[in-house]
Amino acid sequence: MSRAPQTLPTNDRAAVFTAMSAYVIWGFFPIYFKILQSVPAMEMLAQRIVWAVPFGALIIAYRKQWPAVHKAITTPRTLLFLMLSTTFVAINWGVYIWAVQSGQIMQASLGYYINPLIFVFVGMFFFGETLRVLQIIAVILAAIGVAILTVRGGQFPWIAIILATSWTIYAIVRKQLDVGAMPGLFIETAIAVPIAAIYLIWLSTNGTMSLTPDEPVIAFWIFMAGPLTVLPLLAFAVATKRLTLSLLGFLQFIGPTLQFGCALYYGEPLTTARLICFIFIWTAVAFFCVSAWQNGRQRNLPKPV
């Protein structure tokens, strides 16, 4: 006698569109931060944290998730881990903003291309996960690409490495917690708000804060940091409940691909070393996607007793 197949998320058009909308917003983030080029990266990070809190609170209220927030902040272990994850998401956001404003969008896109491969690498060495052949090939190709950029291009891609590793550590920390994406993000930004607010007050006292009544356009775009931070994460959280991980594995490369296009649009040079590096990375991504697709097909097969 065989048991019924395991229940898996359903891939439907609405869920795919929801996931793609999140990745498209993240992919075009460089345009947003270029618009706010006049706002220093540290101030932009502080503004993003501050304005994410009230908008996040509205979403939490609408989705009736206050009990989840209360449970998380009254559980010492959960709160401690969220304080740790706050540190790494702040590092990731800050470095990304600085990278865009300093003309390093291509390196930022490289970071998010190699991020899934670093997940695989960490899973193997720290969690004892067994890698499939195509995953091993993907990791090796990515390492070769980074090495070529470092040696031939004379530039170690530290921005890409920091972005990829900080997001990996952030995801690993969050993986240890039984807290939803939205409640978790709300608590993380709320934890960081006091520091961000103190910094902004200091800027205002010194007359160097960019948010002033004299710059209504800049003020509008700064306020938009709230919804632009919260909405794509909400869309992603909703989509993950209805899509298989293999499909999400394909869709996640929309973001860095759009960022790469933004880099070219803003005139960042595609040197020979960078091109060779990206060819290796894109090939690694192809192997990664094929592996994810094969694994997804296997997971959808009925399991015998």
Residue 179 lies in a domain: yes
CA–CA distance, 134 with 283 (Å, rounded to integer): 11
**Does residue 237 lie within any of the structural domains?**
yes
Judge whether 93 lies within some domain: yes
Q: How confident is the model over 276-304, as pLDDT tens digits? A: 999 999 998 888 888 777 765 544 433 33
- From CA 215, how far away is CA 219, in angstroms rounded? 6
**Overall domain count for the chain:** 1
Distances (CA, A) of 79 to 76, 193, 210, 242: 5, 15, 33, 28
What CA–CA distance (Å, rounded) separates 231 from 39?
Answer: 22
Q: Please report whether residue 177 resides in a domain.
A: yes
Q: How confident is the model over 38-97, as pLDDT tens digits?
A: 999 999 999 999 999 999 999 999 999 999 999 999 999 999 999 999 999 999 999 999
Q: Please indicate, yes or no, if residue 290 is contained in any of the structural domains.
A: no
b/e per residue 42-80 (b: at least 16 CB within 10 A): ebbbbbbbbbbbebbbebbeeeebeebbeebbeeeebbe
Full residue range of the structural domain in which residue 236 is found? 13-116+157-271
Does residue 184 lie within any of the structural domains?
yes
Residue in 88, 94, 112 with CA at minimum distance from that of residue 188: 88
Nearest C-alpha neighbor of 248 from the set 25, 14, 13, 11: 11
Radius of gyration of the chain (CA): 20
CB 243 within 8 A of CB 19: yes
Residues, the chain: 305
In this prediction, residues 246-262 reach a mean pLDDT of 85
In a domain, residue 4? The reply is no
Give burial (CB, 10 Å; 0-12/13-18/19+) of 154: exposed
CB contact set of 3 (below 8 Å; sequence gap of 6+): 303, 305
Q: Sign of torsion, CA 261 262 266 270?
A: negative
pLDDT above 70 as % of the chain: 90
Under a CB-based contact definition with an 8 Å cutoff, are residues 11 and 300 in contact? Answer: no
pLDDT tens digits, one per residue of 137-178: 888 888 898 888 888 777 788 999 999 999 889 888 888 888
| Run of H or E residues at 204 | helix 181-205
* Span 190-223, pLDDT tens digits: 999 999 999 999 999 998 888 777 788 888 999 9
Residue 242 inside a domain? The answer is yes
